[in-house]
Amino acid sequence: MTKTIIPFGPQHPVLPEPVHLQLTLQDEVITEAIPAFGYVHRGLEKLAEIRDFQQMIYVVERICGICSMIHAMCYCQGLEEMMGIDVPPRARFLRVIWSELHRIHSHLLWMGLFADSFGFESLFMQCWKIREKILDIDEATTGNRVVISVNVIGGVRKDLNAEQIHWILSELKDVEKETLRLETTIMTDYTVKKRTVGKGVLTRQQAYELGLVGPVLRASGIAQDSRMLGYAAFNEIDFAPVVETDGDCYARCKVRFREIFQSIDLIRQAIAKMPDGELAVKVKGRPEGEVVSRVEQPRGEVFYYIKANGKKNLERVRVRTPTFANVPALLAMLPGMWLSDVPVIVLSIDPCISCTER
Amino acid sequence: MIVSDIPVCPENIVGETAKIKVEGYRFVTLTCVELDETRVDVLYHFDRDYQMKHLRMTVLKDTPIPSISPVYFAAFLVENEIQDLFGIRFQGLAIDYDRTLYLAEDVKAAPFCKYVVLKTSATLNTPGENPS
Amino acid sequence: MFEKILTKARMLSPWVLHFDCGSCNGCDIEVLACLTPVYDLERFGIINTGNPMHADIFLVTGTVNHRNKQVLRNLYDQIPEPKVVVALGACGLTGGVFREAYNVVGGVDKVIPVDVYVPGCPAKPEAIIDGVVLGLEKFRQKASAMHS
């Protein structure tokens, strides 16, 4: 049999972002997959030399437009630890609320794109319709739909009043109801099962050794979730990671669905336990030292390394985003699969290329 | 968490990571920090049950570093990234993009180096100027 | 005569090609959100296509960098005349917060001619729809200039 090399991307209808995969095929079966990057690389970490440490918040927020708030939260938590700042309790609970809202909308977004990858377009529309409710909450509470810019070093900038909280809870009830309907439709559907069960299987051992993160790791039976570190207010909330054991695309889908319901529950808990008080403390002085900060994003664990030397500009900001850690999974999953399964498998890791390349 | 690290050198880095793997650590990432004109810090981050372990290697910029991708396959991506951004070479990479992971083929500069003083600096471009 | 009908028909159903060249995803998901039930771009007859040869309107989000400027140029060249380019978001206009980063060339207009600029970080779906509708007017002008 002759070998064929097929380029996949950078501009491909199923990918919302440009990434290139070079697939080597034997007949219709993939034998090798090599990813190529660089279409979105901007060099954001380098901007730390021009922007000061306060301005960098707005740069890291724009590493990724989907989980922007969580990027900023991770960055701020790193600097708060370095400078020894205690964040007021109300701000910590508000961070939980907004980060979980981000997780819900990111998972719904992924669900839509995933459905689109196997040609289930009406499902894509449904998922995005539910997602709009979350974006409405974001817009009403912070003023922007996507990049919400609520974090500052030392706390948050916006507050929720009683009326807003009441409205959020009623909207979440709708979201929960509609997502539940969606879940029963998707997870029992013959077509969905046909396209996802047993596709792109990663064993527990493989997933751990490849250093994977987030739902991809948890779908392979490993209970690793950075929220267990208890950052923000997660130490005061009842939380346990969602785990599935099959390790295929179907299991990843299931993990994300269960996480949506979990996030709704976490927001309810946070709202119930949120104390009154200050939103932010004043920041004095300049950061100095080295710090590592980790936070759980919708796609997995994000890792920040920050080095400062007492100047206005930081010495180094390094970001390891979840998709960067999940790319090796593609190299392990794709060989042996059919060419027609490539879009489903690629999307099952929830790739965010602008995160990966920064 | 504040970084507390174990010093390593290019000679023992592969052995040390193999040991860490046996201890059951998960690979997180590598970080490269430029110290001054000739030296960089390469930090290796690992995680086990939410506890992190950091290895620190201070090397000269023109010293090739053995790749740890034979031990942790996932490291090839970040090692290629450091090759691109800092111009440091890794030996024995599982997949070597030869400094074209992010940058165009004809870029010779290392954009993350503030001080451009590699040995052949006369032929290099200053960072920020991509001649493509 | 026939051309006039053709132009009118194309105006009533413009097909859109979206390309992300280095955006943070914020504008991209807003472009996709335009297609979904709440905003429903399709009520204007607009369809999102993946093939540049089918497209009339080219939506570009994000800053241009050294690797993707060639891809952008290629896609632009493949779209048949008349065509309209809509640049979305602060990055597509000027480079936005990324303008000083080393791998950023700048706005979309550094590489291809842009007809409509839609500001915002990210641009709101309402603004995007507005921009596309504004682009249609340009499209009509270009088409009639081509046939006269």
Range of the domain at B28: 5-105
Which CATH number do you get for residue C19?
Answer: 3.40.50.12280
Task: Tell me whether residue B130 is in a domain.
Answer: no
Q: What is the pLDDT of residue A261?
A: 92
Q: Which residue of chain A is at minimal alpha-carbon distance from B49?
A: A224
Q: Between B and C, how many CB-CB pairs are < 8 A?
A: 16
Q: Which of C14, C2, C5, C6 is nearest to C79 (CA)?
A: C14
Residue A321 has pLDDT above 70, yes or no: yes
* CB A344, CB A330: distance < 8 Å: no
pLDDT in tens, A214-228: 888 888 888 888 888
Which CATH number do you get for residue B69?
Answer: 3.30.460.80
Q: Which of C33, C102, C37 is nearest to C61 (CA)?
A: C33
- How many structural domains does chain B have? 1
Q: Which of residues 14-53 of A touch B (CB under 8 A)?
A: 34, 36-38, 41, 43, 45-46, 49
Range of the domain at C18: 2-147
Task: Tell me whether residue B101 is in a domain.
Answer: yes
- Beta-carbon separation of B104 and C66 below 8 A: yes
* CB A117, CB A13: distance < 8 Å: no
pLDDT in tens, A295-307: 988 888 888 998 8
pLDDT in tens, A245-278: 888 888 988 899 899 999 999 999 999 988 888 8
CA distance C123 to C126: 8
Q: Between A and C, how many CB-CB pairs are < 8 A?
A: 120
What residue has token string 């390394």?
A: A305
| A265 CA to centre of own chain | 18
Spell out the domain ranges in chain A. Answer: 41-325
Q: Is the model more confident about A168 or about B130?
A: A168
- Beta-carbon separation of B77 and A328 below 8 A: yes
Strand partners for A302: A295
Tokens of A194: 């046909």
- How many structural domains does chain C have? 1
**Cα-based distances in Å from B71 to A7, A201, B21:** 29, 22, 8
By Cβ distance, the residue of B3, B73, B100 closest to A292 is B3
Instruction: Chain C: list its partners (3+ Cβ pairs within 8 Å).
Output: A, B
CA distance A266 to A243: 17
- Give domain A41-325's CATH architecture: Orthogonal Bundle (1.10)
Q: A58 CA to chain C: closest CA distance, Å? A: 8
CA distance A124 to A110: 9
Confidence of residue B108 (pLDDT cuts 50, 70, 90): low
* CB A287, CB A83: distance < 8 Å: yes
Residue A114 has pLDDT above 50, yes or no: yes
Angle A89-117/A68-83 helices, nearest 10 degrees?
150
* CB A76, CB A153: distance < 8 Å: yes
Q: Which of A10, A324, A342, A335 is nearest to B76 (CA)?
A: A324
Q: A154 CA to chain C: closest CA distance, Å? A: 23
CA distance A350 to A66: 12
**Cα-based distances in Å from A163 to A40, A88, A159, A206:** 41, 22, 12, 48
Tokens of C73: 């140029």
pLDDT in tens, A52-88: 888 888 888 888 888 888 899 999 988 888 888 888 9
pLDDT in tens, C112-132: 888 899 888 888 888 888 888
Does B35 reach chain A within 8 Å, measured CB to CB?
no
Residue A335 has pLDDT above 50, yes or no: yes
The span from the first CA to the last CA of chain B, in angstroms, equals: 41
Inter-residue long-range contacts of B81-87, CB under 8 Å, 24+ positions, other chains counted: B82/B30, B82/B32, B82/B42, B84/B110, B85/B32, B85/B110, B85/B111, B85/B112, B86/B32, B86/B34, B86/B40, B86/B61, B86/B110, B86/B112, B86/B113, B87/B61, B87/B113, B87/B118
Arithmetic mean of pLDDT, B22-36: 86
Q: What is the ipTM of this complex?
A: 0.81
Chain A interface, best mutation among B2, B5, B26, by max A CB count within 10 A = B26
**Cα-based distances in Å from A244 to A112, A250, A258:** 21, 10, 10
Round the average pLDDT of chain A to a whole number and report it: 85
CA distance A11 to C18: 9
What residue has token string 């779908």?
A: A219
Confidence of residue A13 (pLDDT cuts 50, 70, 90): low
